[in-house]
Amino acid sequence: MVCRYKVNIHIPNSLNSTFLNCINVDEFQVYRSCDVLIIGGGSAGLRAAIEAHDAGAQVLIISKSKRGDPHTVLARGGINAALGTMDPEDNWMVHAADTLKEGEFLADYEKVEILCKNAPDTVNELVEWGARFHREEDGRLTQRFFGAHTYRRTVFYEDWTGQEMIRVLMNQVQKRKIEIIDNVYITKLLKSSDFSKEGPKGGSGADTEPEMIGGALGINIEKKEIVVFKCNSLILGAGGYTRVYSVSSSRIFENYGEGMALAYEVGADLVDMEMVQFHPTGMVWPEKALGILATEAIRGEGGILLNSKGERFMKKYDPERMELGPRDVVARANYNEIVDGRGKEHGGVWLDVTHLSKEKILDRLPTMYKQFKEIDGIDISKEKMEVGPTAHYSMGGVVVDTKCRTKIKGLFAVGEVMSQIHGANRLGGNSLLDTMVFGKIVGGEAAKFFNESRDKTDGKTEKLSSSSSTIQLDTNGQKIFKDKIFVVNNPVKFRDELQDLMKLNAGIIRDETKLKAGLKSVLQLNEEFYSKDNITKEFKPSDIDDDMDAENIVLTYQVKSSLVVCEAIIKSALMRQESRGAHYRSDFPKIDEEKWACNIYCSSSSEFGEEMVLFKHNVKEIKGELADFLSTHVKAEHHREFE
């Protein structure tokens, strides 16, 4: 295959020139096509698939994880909706106000409005589909408190709500006979020109049609085959980027920012990448359990935090809300107690529910009871849990509009890949909600795009085949896939070094010195990663010989994605010279509304060359009924200071 390899960050001059040239390949062995291609088998991708299918599109879901076991299953605590079953005073505007305040007013208010208005219907739809949410004795859906919520609005199933939602969504997908292909790792998004012998269209005039998304290139890990997918519209639902940190609530194989990197490399912009949420309570011991989440539901049900002196320390950090304060405040409080010498032997603080009855713990927190019993050997009804902050959620992501459309025609993003729903910090219980609300929206929009594209050609578009076949590539070099699949020497070393430097230099507490040191290290690793001596193998379709090849390809591309994401996080964090939400600068400890009421964008536009260019844009002004509500019900001084 003739293959030109190019990334949008700092390709070193030392890279072998022959690697940049085209290499002939006769054919790909597996080729699939569909109307709507969805990358990601979590709740966002599944809900999108259901909606696109119901709108008449032929849908294909591809997932790197085992079907029914996406990252969503780790979401324990619940899903939010202003149902008012426990607190009748609640409504969508209070929910929206809480979401905006928690995000320090950095979110797109229109997305927040859509999220909160649609929340009740979303939960009711799940109930209609068979979700077994907890109910009161009189049949009402139970709603519990989560941090920074004005009212009880979190609906739950025991303490594994995400897994219950996946069960329900998978049933709906299977009912519709929507196809899912597991164990596929996507390495590159393809433009429409990649499927055209003419190649990319030239010219820059007003009449030039912008390039559309055309499909994706990757590897079927199980079958050890390079695969190509062709589609009319593509939805990225591939998760977040918190695994670029060494201590994370994500599993080792997920959330390296693949969705963001894939979109960025075809020209989409990223935004708010500095906003990484650290959950206050991850496990700290034993070492194999480091970072595993101790759900916020524990504090929602009355769990308290204690330091090594037995002090309930949240009294001095958030005396009104205590353990139910915003996640960023509680996480920094835990961090401060630990670094100031009031932590426990394994570097954490106590999380205590021993004052609750065992009956309530087993009813509301059965998974947590089992998790600590099996992993740490403790009975949480009798013993305290040792916990500490863990990288948990990425508020930043791909720039999309309210219909989940990127600036690349035919490319959509949803779930943790998309941005500007949660602002500078996310309310607990809002992540599962956004996957469902915007999953439904994006599925409908992707199907609509397909139908409109077909109508523009008077129905003469190629009828796509659902069967496997081969794709012939032009051997004259006129048709090229710009990325070939490759592996580097010892990708685990790169992964571990990146994770450690991010924890050290761009973690909970940041400053200019650490951020500059971190950026220097990231760029040095990038140079080494792409050096001609480090790339050990370049794959043709039939070259993947064994499981080790497949594993090393995945590890290599996890690092490749991480390099893009880490550069974006650190550069954005350096640019934002204030503290806001999850982004805390010890050298700029106050919020600066005058200079930094804006979003920071990372662009890969070709007009800037290969350098990642950052720019800022003022946050969208809140208008309409939500603006009126905020002006009368929310205090003017909303920002939190943290000493």
What is the set of active-site residues? 279, 299
Q: Where are the alpha helices (DSSP H) in 466-531?
A: 491-505, 512-529
- Centroid of chain to Cα 248: 13
Under a CB-based contact definition with an 8 Å cutoff, are residues 61 and 45 in contact? yes
Name residue 214's amino acid.
G
Q: 435 by DSSP, 3-state: which?
A: helix
Paired with 488 in beta bridges are: 535
The string of DSSP letters for 364-421 reads H-HHHHHHHHHHT---TTTSPEEEEEEEEEE--EE---TT-B-SSBTEEE-GGGB-SS
Output the CA angle 3-237-189, nearest 5 degrees.
15
The two tokens of residue 204 are 């820059």
Inter-residue long-range contacts of 544-547, CB under 8 Å, 24+ positions, other chains counted: 544/219, 544/224, 544/225, 544/226, 545/224, 546/224, 547/224
Q: Tell the residue number behind the tokens 């049949």, with chain if given.
A: 139
Under a CB-based contact definition with an 8 Å cutoff, are residues 563 and 501 in contact? no
Of 471, 474, 453, the closest CA to residue 462 belongs to: 453
Please count the CA atoms within 13 angstroms of the CA of 466 that sit on its side-chain side: 12
What radius of gyration, in Å, describes the C-alpha atoms of the chain? 24
Paired with 247 in beta bridges are: none
The two tokens of residue 27 are 């054919």
Query: What are the φ/ψ torsions at residue 516 (nearest 5 degrees)?
Result: -65, -40
Paired with 180 in beta bridges are: 61
Query: What are the φ/ψ torsions at residue 526 (nearest 5 degrees)?
Result: -60, -45
The string of DSSP letters for 225-241 reads EEEEEEEEEEEE-----
Q: Tell the residue number behind the tokens 């991708």, with chain if given.
A: 45
- Centroid of chain to Cα 203: 36
List, in order, residues 6 or more apart from 92 with CB less than 8 Å away. Answer: 82, 113, 116, 117, 119, 120
CA–CA distance, 93 with 613 (Å, rounded to integer): 36
Of 249, 304, 250, the closest CA to residue 282 belongs to: 249
Paired with 28 in beta bridges are: 471
Output the CA angle 290-294-297, nearest 5 degrees.
170
Q: 60 by DSSP, 3-state: which?
A: strand
Under a CB-based contact definition with an 8 Å cutoff, are residues 29 and 225 in contact? yes
Assess whether the previous peptide bond of 589 is cis (omega < 30° from 0): no
Paired with 528 in beta bridges are: none
The two tokens of residue 568 are 């974006």
Under a CB-based contact definition with an 8 Å cutoff, are residues 560 and 534 in contact? no
Cα dist from 65 to 117, 128, 181, 186, 341, whole Å: 32, 27, 10, 12, 40
The two tokens of residue 323 are 């353990």
